[in-house]
A and B are shown apart, each in its own frame.
Chain A
């Protein structure tokens, strides 16, 4: 086990800057998930930590050792690849014991170590098979086993579940979580699936365009996204955004939509000015469909997606799409006009120009986060 410190990591591929001054401190035993859209630099960052990519500038520390110049083999890490990268010409047993074989560990010792790990992952029956005779889930488990046998300081996972079907993915997610709890090892895990990120991570690092957007525990990122990108990226279905402007009446600020719908009093926010353009975000589960017309907004239903356990209703409001997540079956029909009630305590306000979250007055922000914590509990 070891901590990892990334100081001002920059990486260029020719003229393209893929990582821009990335700073992250990872404690030992921590499960950190790097999440972001395709091409955001998350895999490059992971590969840089592994030593498979040379960084352009910055420092990488594993434990107390600066590893910038160390070859991958000397960094004492294990990596599980998206493709599993099992050696097709070797049996499962040799695949799992490969790292020890390279280190010239005595054969009996390798056999013992492989057997122990195989037992813990339910692979004992498969040890003589070649990778091509395994299913996707079994290959995934062998790849994990191969990483565990080595007992490294740090585990790196590069989108390890993306080749599995949905059901197996959930199952393997639980196995990885259990593995972390059992080994208490430092894990850096790359994924573009934010459900994986939310369920596995102690802390999430959200990346976009090679820049760290936010670092924090999953619920903190979900509840208080720091900018428009994080707000839109984290959460499925993703957050709705309504374009509004700050207006004033009787000394109080409020939000006004493009068609003049008044939304909320804004006494809890700092640095407001009349005419300021605000992007008002609200999560789909924080919108209610009312039977009456007394809601905040009137919208038209575009589509209804029943999933059995819930319904997602897509509505059109002022030319934008709003998604409503309802645990109740609503009987909404396409083209029906509906009245929507927003949970005004759960609005996320972002400056439309900078994309940054509006700062609340400290005492109010504290109350809101307490309210959200009690609501979520």
Chain B
């Protein structure tokens, strides 16, 4: 008996140790980000590789707020990411519902085309997209970014939302329809409340994707007043030096909204990500 208890104890310790090891590996870059952000410039190269600096400072954060355009970048990123997440989730929810519930001509072809959009490396389409956006006045514009991000995130989000709708039995909306609802009423009274975890998961994915996107932002935006923060981070790299401290401080600050967002939606996210997988 005691051997079994001991074996179980060992298994549990090994299990936790494995998780700990992974967490250290995954979170170490973030820790390094924070460490450099609070290290004074003078110690950056002089102290060698130390896990924590001998001196500690907030000055990099102060500089980021007061002497850089970071607040503008930050606000631009927030606007673009939120708008993209909302727009994509709305479109994906509608499309996912249609794919899941309706039979229509060309459904298979459209599904195929959505998949095809995911197959090309983005670099391949950069130039044509610039060619399309420039005459429309959508370069150097947050709207342009929102449109592009939405377009590129919709296919994946549609499949994600479709899987959530697939997980909701048809009987539920049919029952609502028999009980006096139109299809639309059945959708918003019964189906949407049940799909909220799925929508939260989609919102989360798209928000983070848009928040950290750099390739399109770099190509379409040249005016720093409409730059998002990944592009803005490059401002800390000048011809003669890289302002590591400020860059890292900006990075830490940029992590905050994403973290807050995930704290709010994590309950739905876990629910949402497992909803389709396990028949409950």
Contacts and interface: CB of A to CB of B under 8 A. Distances in A.
Interface string B169-192: 101101111111110010001100
A365 interface: no
A369 interface: no
Contacts of A89: 193-194
Contact of B178 (A52, A82, A87): A52
A52 B177 contact: yes
A79 B178 contact: yes
Contact of B177 (A71, A82, A87, A103): A71
A362 interface: no
A83 interface: yes
- Greatest chain A CB density within 10 A among B174, B179, B180 is at B179
A28 to B, nearest CB: 19
Interface of B is mostly: helix
Contacts of A102: 176, 179-181, 185, 189
A237 to B, nearest CB: 33
Nearest to A81: B171
- Greatest chain A CB density within 10 A among B169, B172, B180, B194 is at B180
A217 interface: no
A73 B177 contact: yes
A102 B188 CA distance: 12
Interface in B191-217: 193-194
Contacts of A88: 194
Contact of A79 (B169, B175, B181): B175
A273 interface: no
Interface in A54-95: 71-73, 75, 77-79, 81-83, 85, 87-89
Interface residues of B, number: 17
B181 A81 contact: no
A146 interface: yes
Nearest to A83: B171
B194 A81 contact: no
B179 A150 contact: yes
A46 B181 CA distance: 19
A52 B181 CA distance: 13
Contacts of B194: 88-89
A233 interface: no
Nearest to B168: A88
A78 B169 contact: no
A73 B181 contact: yes
A103 B179 CA distance: 9
Contacts of A81: 171, 174-175
A345 B266 CA distance: 73
A103 B181 CA distance: 9
Contact of A73 (B169, B178, B190): B178
Interface string A149-184: 010000000000000000000000000000000000
Contacts of B175: 79, 81, 85, 87
A52 B262 CA distance: 40
A50 B171 contact: no
A325 interface: no
A78 B178 contact: yes
A241 interface: no
Contacts of A51: 177-178
B180 A103 contact: yes
Contacts of B172: 85, 87
B174 A52 contact: yes
Interface in B156-176: 169, 171-172, 174-176
13 contacts: A51-B178, A73-B179, A73-B182, A79-B174, A81-B171, A81-B174, A82-B171, A85-B172, A87-B190, A98-B179, A99-B180, A102-B185, A103-B180
Given A85-B171, A99-B180, 7 more contacts: A52-B177, A72-B177, A73-B180, A85-B169, A85-B172, A85-B175, A89-B193
List the 8 closest A-B pairs by CB distance, nearest first.
A85-B175, A99-B179, A85-B171, A102-B180, A81-B171, A79-B178, A72-B177, A73-B180
Interface of A: 50-52, 71-73, 75, 77-79, 81-83, 85, 87-89, 98-99, 102-103, 146, 150
